[in-house]
Amino acid sequence: MFRLEARTSTPAWFNLALPLLAIAVALVLCSGLIAIAGAGVIEAYSVMLSASLGDSYAITETLVRAAPMIFTGLAVATAFRAKFWNIGAEGQLLAGAVASCAVGAIPMPGYLAMLLMALVGAAAGAIVALVPATLRVKFKVDDVVSSLLLNSVIYYALMALIEGPWKDTFSGYPISPPIEDSANFPVLIEGTRLHIGVVVALIAAPLIWFLIARTTLGFRIRVTGENPEAARYGGINVQRVLLSTALLSGALAGLAGVGEVGGVHFQVMSDISPGYGYSGIVVAMLARLNPLGVVPAALFLAAVMTGAEAMSRATGVPAFLSDVIQGTALLAMLVALLFTAYRVRRVGASA
């Protein structure tokens, strides 16, 4: 007989083993779809691997894809640490993109424009995230639903802008005017799209880790998430911590939008984010809400996305496989997390 038993602590190697297990399970399950599509599983996955990590150009493309998901992953991880259920990273990203694009279109010295784009974009994301947090703190409104619904509000606001007053007069499509050339983020390696925003994303992860693991605010965030009663008893203003967390989380998601505008698209269109905000939830869960884990998790999803397109061209398996892998990996990770709460114990048959 086997029995589930509550665990009090988990060994450190779980942090690495569980996401790897989840990813392995997702890849195995999705290999069924590759087989249904009539392609070789090994072949498809190896094309995916070589097209995303096989040469230096591929690696830069994967990094460019990963940057927004590092930011949204950090946004979700930070929020979930405080048990502020921010499902709204998608909308916060869009708000950051719109705000930074508006700033980037103003003629001014390039370095100043980039700095302002980052500041204004982060602020826009933070303000959006403040809405569900304020509603929760002041009116006890469920943050899951309110942050999710705000995504649709922001999306339609963006559409109204780019189909209306903000539409680029030189384009037939609903698309915003481009930012100034001088505000385009510098490319680090000639002939690639690797822009400075990717480096900022890679630096942001250890910074957020430090903030959460080593600072007073980080301590408050963790205690608020783990035990709000104890936090209150210990003199922590839980409501203020939730609002601060929301500002931080929203700012990070906003920066994801800034990077897409300044480094990749240079303008705003309706599909500027292929769901990076929702992918941030997958990234954060795979990372077990650890900011340092967000980087490899985002790189994994980015590699799957870049690899899937090449795999589709080479084998005819639809590139949408990457979306299925993403969803399956999230669900597998959630199941794997059960191992952190319970352990399977063998108990005597007579017991």
Helix (H) or strand (E) holding 342: strand 342-346
Nearer to other proteins, 29 or 59 (CB): 29
Q: Is residue 246 a contact residue for other proteins (CB under 8 A)?
A: no
Q: Is residue 156 a contact residue for other proteins (CB under 8 A)?
A: yes
Per-residue CA distances from 257 to 65, 72, 232, 261, 264 (Å): 12, 9, 35, 6, 10
Give backbone dihedrals phi and psi of 346, rounded to 5 degrees, phi first. -85, 125
Q: Is residue 318 a contact residue for other proteins (CB under 8 A)?
A: yes
Nearer to other proteins, 221 or 325 (CB): 325
Q: Quick one: which of 59, 211, 327, 343 contacts other proteins (CB under 8 A)?
A: 327
Q: Is residue 331 a contact residue for other proteins (CB under 8 A)?
A: yes
Q: Measured on CA atoms in the order 128, 133, 134, 135, is the torsion positive or negative? A: positive
Question: To the nearest whole angstrom, how small is the minimum distance from the Cβ of residue 215 to other proteins?
Answer: 26
Place of tokens 């590699």: 303
Q: Measured on CA atoms in the order 153, 159, 162, 166, is the torsion positive or negative? A: negative
Report CA 295 to chain centroid distance, whole Å: 10
- Interface stretch with other proteins, choices 56-64, 154-162, 196-204, 206-214 (CB under 8 A): 154-162
Q: Is residue 244 a contact residue for other proteins (CB under 8 A)?
A: no
Q: Is residue 314 a contact residue for other proteins (CB under 8 A)?
A: no
Nearer to other proteins, 57 or 155 (CB): 155
Contacts (CB under 8 A) with other proteins, residues 20-59: 33, 36-37
Q: Is residue 130 a contact residue for other proteins (CB under 8 A)?
A: no
What is the 8-class DSSP label of residue 261? I
Q: Quick one: which of 278, 289, 298, 299 contacts other proteins (CB under 8 A)?
A: 278
Q: Are 143 and 86 in contact (CB under 8 A)?
A: yes
Rounded Cα distance, 207 and 111, in Å: 22
Kindly state the tokens that stand for 325. Answer: 């892998």
Q: Is residue 276 a contact residue for other proteins (CB under 8 A)?
A: no
Site string for other proteins, 280-309 (x = CB under 8 A): -xx--x------------------------
Q: Are 48 and 311 in contact (CB under 8 A)?
A: yes
The neighbour count for residue 182, using CB atoms within 10 Å, is 14
β-strands 2-6, 342-346 pairing: antiparallel
Q: Quick one: which of 105, 131, 183, 246 contacts other proteins (CB under 8 A)?
A: 131
Rounded Cα distance, 314 and 68, in Å: 27
Nearer to other proteins, 119 or 135 (CB): 135
Q: Is residue 160 a contact residue for other proteins (CB under 8 A)?
A: yes
Q: Is residue 140 a contact residue for other proteins (CB under 8 A)?
A: yes
Rounded Cα distance, 4 and 51, in Å: 42
Q: Is residue 5 a contact residue for other proteins (CB under 8 A)?
A: no
- Interface stretch with other proteins, choices 51-59, 106-114, 152-160, 252-260 (CB under 8 A): 152-160
- Interface stretch with other proteins, choices 95-103, 106-114, 196-204, 332-340 (CB under 8 A): 332-340
Rounded Cα distance, 139 and 173, in Å: 41
- Interface contacts to other proteins, rule CB under 8 A: 33, 36-37, 85, 87, 131, 135, 138-142, 144-146, 148-153, 155-157, 159-160, 163-164, 275, 278, 281-282, 285, 317-318, 320-328, 330-331, 334-335, 337-338
